[in-house]
Amino acid sequence: MDYNLLSTPPKCLADFNLVPIGTGEASIAEELAEVERLLKHTGVKHTMQTTGTVLEGTWDEVVNAIGKAHAAVHQRGVAKVQSEIRIGTKNR
Amino acid sequence: MDYNLLSTPPKCLADFNLVPIGTGEASIAEELAEVERLLKHTGVKHTMQTTGTVLEGTWDEVVNAIGKAHAAVHQRGVAKVQSEIRIGTKNR
Amino acid sequence: MDYNLLSTPPKCLADFNLVPIGTGEASIAEELAEVERLLKHTGVKHTMQTTGTVLEGTWDEVVNAIGKAHAAVHQRGVAKVQSEIRIGTKNR
Amino acid sequence: MDYNLLSTPPKCLADFNLVPIGTGEASIAEELAEVERLLKHTGVKHTMQTTGTVLEGTWDEVVNAIGKAHAAVHQRGVAKVQSEIRIGTKNR
């Protein structure tokens, strides 16, 4: 296989759950509101559910949006952020 | 917060577990060998463990490598691929 | 801490995503229908979502139901089953 | 299928990552040390890795140990605990 020709998948469906660590607050509602605002700003299709946020788009769009969500939560002063991401792709 | 100024984190530690779906084989050893070759090709620092592969690098490097791992497994004819990713970042 | 006095949490909220491995079918709809029937049989409160199934109940009820879901899918002849579970608990 | 005859799998391999929420400390080393002591007490076979703890045993043993790990961390005063569990089983 010529790995140089590989590009990331054109479509994916992901569900991620972001956890701020070391905030001193059991509620993470403020951080999730920040993530929601960031996702709206990015324009990536998303739906917030009980235990995670579902994203749809190209692989690059989706993982970039989650990376920026980490950055946004760090900007609020949170020292560590962890996400758990389920991500699925299909053959064209 | 000015979301236009946000970039993805400069460092992350991730652990991912990739599952090919619909292969007709209970063993996923060949697909994992493909992922291993792809990871070597990308040059991203990685360690294979019992239940997942640990990656270290910038956010973009790490998630790009996982996306290419999906693409490589699809190229082998696997219709659906799912990964579960744990990814952590720290404030600079 | 006296570990002998510890019991599992009286309440939890979980979201799980079950994947049958080696079925030869890209669709896992039949296996998920089986999981749904099993969950109804157990009586544990559950909601199926796009990328997983949400369960609520005592720790023991919830993890027992997921274990039985694995067993039900194995009974259909599936050699390997993997689940990814997010599970959260709160202090009383 | 007669769901009443189903029991949870006799063997599983799991990898879990526990996160205490709202502790006010970015380090979760003390909580992980507690989890380690609890796991030793339970006697379930386990190995701590970079991004999670691997457990082997019957389904019931493994999920019971993780539930007690949540309980032990709550006893230290942590309000919320979340785990992400990857768990795999095979047909006998």
Q: In B, which residues are within 8 Å of D49 by CB distance?
A: 49-50, 54
Cross-chain CB nearest to D51 (options B26, B86, B90): B86
Q: Give per-residue pLDDT as tens, B15-73.
A: 999 999 989 888 999 999 999 999 999 999 999 998 999 999 999 999 999 999 999 99
Find the closest chain D residue to A19 by CA distance. Answer: D21
- When CB atoms are compared, the residue of D22, D28, D84 closest to A25 is D22
C26 band by pLDDT with thresholds 50, 70 and 90: confident
ipTM score for this prediction: 0.95
So what's the pLDDT on residue D15?
Answer: 98
Q: Closest by alpha carbon to C67, among D88, D45, B83?
A: D88
Q: How many CB pairs under 8 A join A and D?
A: 33
What is the model's pLDDT at position A26? 87
How would you classify the pairing of strands C80-90 and D80-90? antiparallel
- Mean of the pLDDT values across residues C60-70? 98
Which chains have 3+ CB pairs within 8 A of A?
B, C, D
Is it the case that residue D45 has pLDDT exceeding 90? yes
pLDDT at B36: 97
Six-digit token string for D73 = 């961390």
Distance between CA atoms of residues B26 and C74, nearest Å:
12
pLDDT bucket at D24, cuts 50 / 70 / 90: confident
- The predicted model gives A22-41 an average pLDDT of 94
CB pair distance less than 8 Å for D71 and C37? no
**A9–chain C Cβ distance below 8 A for any pair:** no
Residue A24: per-residue pLDDT: 87
- The CATH code for residues D24-89 is 3.30.70.930
A42-84 pLDDT, tens digit per residue, is 999 999 998 999 999 999 999 999 999 999 999 999 999 999 9
- Put simply, the answer to whether A54 touches C52 (Cβ < 8 Å) is no
DSSP category for residue C79? S
Rounded CA separation D24/C38 (Å): 41
Could you give the residue ranges of the DSSP H alpha helices within A1-84?
29-42, 59-75
If you average pLDDT over residues C51-63, what whole number do you get?
97
How confident is the model at residue D79, as a pLDDT? 94
- The verdict on a CB contact (< 8 Å) between A87 and B85 is yes
CA-wise closest residue to D88 among B52, B72, B13: B52
Q: Alpha carbon D17 to chain centroid distance? A: 8
Q: Name which of D16, B44, B62 is nearest A67 in CA terms.
A: B62
Q: Which helix (DSSP H) or strand (DSSP E) does residue D70 occupy?
A: helix D59-75
Tell me, what's the pLDDT at C52? 94
Residues of chain C contacting D72 with CB distance shorter than 8 Å: 1, 3, 6
Q: Which residues of A touch D81 (CB under 8 A)?
A: none
